């Protein structure tokens, strides 16, 4: 069973994504802030789903720390957020994100499909220059 770390501070969204992922057969670990996410990343998930707007350590700061930590730097990190600014998307990919999705556009079935893509090919990286969120 593949393990996913979901770092999301909005309880409703965290609970919804957790249920969707568990129903699809994944083990899901959750964290409500960046510091907690950093600690839980050491449990060795196969994929990290990360929000940007988090209390304390935000998602981009956490991503930078994850990619600097030898024990977790190779875990694929996909950002799921509502921030659609090109400069933030570019920064996320420069810091090591492999995917970027807007919550408002991510249907439950799309979440599972995308998670499976990143789990099947951990080296897959979306082309951020082709992401358009108008």
pTM: 0.95
Q: What is the model's pLDDT at position 17? A: 96
Share of the chain above pLDDT 70, in %: 98
Determine the Cα–Cα distance for residues 37 and 44; give it in Å rounded to an integer.
Answer: 12
Distance CA 53, CA 55 (A): 7
Residue recorded with tokens 């720390």: 65
pLDDT of residue 131: 72
Locate the DSSP E strands across the chain.
3-7, 27-31, 47-50, 77-81, 99-102
Q: What tens digit of pLDDT does each residue of 41-63 get?
A: 999 999 999 999 999 899 999 99
Domains and CATH numbers, the chain: 3-130 (3.40.50.2300)
Residue 113 structure tokens: 């499909």
Q: What is the pLDDT of residues 76-113, one digit of tens each?
A: 999 999 988 889 999 999 999 999 999 988 888 899 99
């Amino acid at each position: 069973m593949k393990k996913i770390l979901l770092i999301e501070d909005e309880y409703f969204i965290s609970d919804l994504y957790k249920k969707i992922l568990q129903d699809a057969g994944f083990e899901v670990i959750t964290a409500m802030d960046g510091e907690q996410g950093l600690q839980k990343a050491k449990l060795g998930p196969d994929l990290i789903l990360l929000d940007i707007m988090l209390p304390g350590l935000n998602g981009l700061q956490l991503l930078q720390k994850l990619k600097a930590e030898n024990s977790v730097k190779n875990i694929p990190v996909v950002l799921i957020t509502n921030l659609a600014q090109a400069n933030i998307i570019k920064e996320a990919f420069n810091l090591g994100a492999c995917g970027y999705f807007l919550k408002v556009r991510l249907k439950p079935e799309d979440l599972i499909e995308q998670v499976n893509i990143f789990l099947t090919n951990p080296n897959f990286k979306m082309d951020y220059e082709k992401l358009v969120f108008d």
